[in-house]
Structure 1
């Protein structure tokens, strides 16, 4: 029996759950060619230049007349600009919060500022790429020494290095982005101690960064520069000594009961396919709604991957100002891509297209489903501290490591990452829960995937899957290890957003 799904009555296509062979029937339409799994078949005539409709929304325009039964993909669909009729807040509704006596909890590390971490790491940060190797050597030596066995409340020592820090305008946007990204990681509630390692002559000067935030060295914050200490070997020795001295203080943190409202959930998707917007993303959206009802925060990001769905988020904005700020970020991306001789439809990737996604409009409508159905309560710039609860948006690129880095810098202490093609990803210091959109990739990559949403295609409900994801979020927040943590992912995925010229 042919398995397919028509998402709304307004759609003029169906999505193949399993491959549809030539001669198979769907919606009383006979397929005239093979339709791969996750891809689209026309079930109504679509005239040249007419809209292709999925999710009840425009995902592109026909390059030529498309007959019922034909495969609908990039060979006969393209996109161009069109009016999406921005309206702010007309669908915003009062949030229904869970009564206090029924609120959920997790076991977290309470910090001095009242926030709760889901992990307790010592982070070795770097001011510049020139000190990256020394930072890695320090962590390798700590791990080799076995000293961490004496500190069971410490989840590990991690090196978070990057490829910039010099050759930038030290008074420009690139500097400011790196400055607040580094500060966001240093103060993330999943970090109990910080060692910042520099070279000494770089543009991103550690003393200037410390002065910007009023930082002074203390028992859980130390700094070193290679040139001042006297070279790589001495820096490694000094770094190891500093961390060993720091460990007793970091180890004093213990898990205690915390309300779920203390969770800040980063929402990510990568390697999306034609099922992502039908299974994993809307199920994660249900989980995000559950967290918001508890008083928690969910961060939707990846601005190029809500392009074509932004008008739906604006409808849920709690104020016109929030909707207008999101519109401003969309305009910035349109202008930025034009300046670089690119276009927004450069995304989806080849893998996305192989999985059934044709245009960025289609991809975005599925990606935005991660944001659930509650009000949009704030819009934040990249790596800004997220100060609002509820569903918020952070402006980031669509590239997953860069986007997640901004979210963690904003305060995210847990992350959910959906994938249809099988992204390999982790995110220290914030645990990443990997969610498969289809059973095939879950079974093929079971060592990487924490949850499977492919069974939604077999009849499992979005509500049940959303509840399952939320339960997993609480378990991981309480210390359960994710698959990416067990594999050791997370150090190399620290990728601050680089903008502007490299000098």
Structure 2
């Protein structure tokens, strides 16, 4: 993909000289002459949508980013709108060429630092919460009731004496029972709970169960290697004596944890301590042009400083995975990614679903047509760095550099897996205007275009729109985003944190039969 765009007075953006389409910067009307392309617009082209720059025969491949994004479902004339009415998915061979594009990572010449919270075990946090986790839906109400007693917006005095505590959050879910006790689904849920129970951004954690559920606390402790103590306490509603007593006990335990949690201070630590989850939601035709490549430029800087970035959303790299296998540091790492793609193909077949049908209604309204087009833009979040490891959902991420975690494309589920794996910062791009947060990890929201920034600035932290307009470069904006990531990691609150997002967005991946 080329990162240099045409000047701002050009009404369209050409991404690659081999492309069959260009992208409208603004709404284009019929008759508009595209001088650089030598074609006239036919009909109305919405902003972010594609325009054919040459005639394309039915059945022929259509390229964007220099890559195949689909096939013409009928003849397409030069200047015509290219979208769902004339572009469809199709099969084609992809050359995985393992490691062909892997390159030597050049360390940054100037060290970068942020103000982090160093835990007793040496891990570095970006936030300092007390967490309340649940084993099952049945204990969700009491967990939320306990956390409600420590909300600063309702009871300011509750945490008045503990300014270094970011809050008390209840992360509840709707599963945990009527599942195979030895099945993949329960193992995944327990891995997720284990990852949150030990997350660096939690000073202390309560795990609350009902008592009779399949997802037993003792089994979670055993399988996840957890160590109960002052900072990890567990109990059940049935053993405690009902709802009222459980809420009272939970409040008492949180109050006892607060003084210890408040003892932290922020200190100067290397950027290498950051583990950044990469997300895109509510994508549009500009996502792969502006916000995602800008994130990719910031990721390359993170990797050069020894940090970790987690690319995910497997259905949203489908059809473009060959661009990652080419950057894998070994054939083994590349094959791990291919194995996850094949797992998804089988998973969709078993559930009578189509992996080719990922783009949402909002994605299509914003100009994206096929999963191939969406995937090619989504991969841009990974920059140009080597792929050093591939993880299953919610597995602990230990490698440094760009890694991949297998997750669905649905953002709350995907980010939940990343945070369970250790992400202490999330970068979330959006073109349509997703509303999202991710306690206990701050989520930095990045707009793809000026119109979204102007309309929904109250939810956005960074605007990549100048790239679309040709007024700024991907590299320059990537540097600014990198500096903003350092600022957020150092304690500056994101928009979603100020709005209180983050608890309802805890959504573990649910697979397997519910009986």
TM-score (structure 2 length as normaliser):
0.96
1:40 is matched with which residue? 50
Unaligned runs of 5+ in 2: 1-8
3-state SS, counterpart of residue 46 of structure 2: coil
CA distance in 2, matches of 1:203, 1:350: 37
CA distance in 1, matches of 2:145, 2:54: 62
Alignment of 1:113 with 2:91, yes or no, is no
* Cα distance in 2 for residues equivalent to 1:112 and 1:327: 39
Given candidates 459, 478, 484, the residue that maps to 2:490 is 478
Tell me the residue number matched to 2:147.
Answer: 139
Two-structure CA RMSD over aligned residues (Å): 1.0
**Equivalent position to 1:103, from 90, 108, 111:** 111
The answer as to 2:224 corresponding to 1:213 is yes
Deviations 1:87-136 (A, max 9, x none): 1101000100113xx21001111112211000000000000000000000
Q: SS at 2:233's partner residue?
A: strand
Q: Residue 89 of structure 1 contacts residue 318 of structure 1 at CA under 8 Å; is this kept in 2?
A: yes
Q: How has the CA–CA distance of structure 1 residues 216 and 389 changed in structure 2, closer, same or farther, with 3 Å as cutoff?
A: closer
In 2, the alpha carbon distance for the partners of 1:16 and 1:170 equals 52
Paired residues for 1:10-409 under 5 Å: 10-26=18-34, 27-99=37-109, 102-143=110-151, 146-409=157-420
What secondary structure sits across from 1:446 in the alignment? helix
> Is 2:194–2:226's contact at 8 Å kept on the other side of the alignment?
no
Q: Structure 1, residues 133-164: CA drift from partner, whole Å, max 9, x if none?
A: 00000111233553311111111000000010
8 A Cα contact 1:220 1:249, kept in partner: no
Matched, 1:463 2:471: no
* Corresponding residue for residue 419 of structure 1: 430
Secondary structure at 1:10 match in 2 = coil
Q: Secondary structure at the match of 1:142?
A: coil
Task: Answer yes or no: is the 8 Å Cα contact 1:16–1:36 preserved in 2.
Answer: yes
Hey, what's the Cα distance between the residues in 1 that align with 2:216 and 2:265?
34
| Contact 2:191–2:224 under 8 Å retained in 1 | no
Residue-pair matches, total: 501
- 1:451 pairs, out of 462, 466, 491, with 462
Distance 1:217 1:284 in 2: 38
SS at match of 1:497: coil
Q: Larger deviation: 227-236 or 146-155?
A: 146-155
Distance 1:113 1:324 in 2: 34
More deviation in 141-150 or 491-500?
Answer: 141-150
Aligned equivalents of 2:225, 2:429: Cα separation in 1: 38
Q: Distance in 1 between matches of 2:340 and 2:224?
A: 27
SS in 1 for 2:160: helix
Q: Using the alignment, how far apart are the partners of 1:211 and 1:315 within structure 2?
A: 39
Instruction: State the alpha-carbon separation in 1 of the partners of residues 80 and 158 from structure 2.
Output: 63
Paired residues of 1:2 and 1:20 also in contact (CA < 8 A): no
Matched-pair contact (CA < 8 Å) for 1:128–1:199: yes
Deviation at 1:2, TM superposition (A): 5.3
Q: Is the 8 A contact 1:2 1:18 kept in 2?
A: no
Deviations for 1:204-234, whole angstroms, at most 9, x for unmatched residues? Answer: 0001211223434322111120000000000
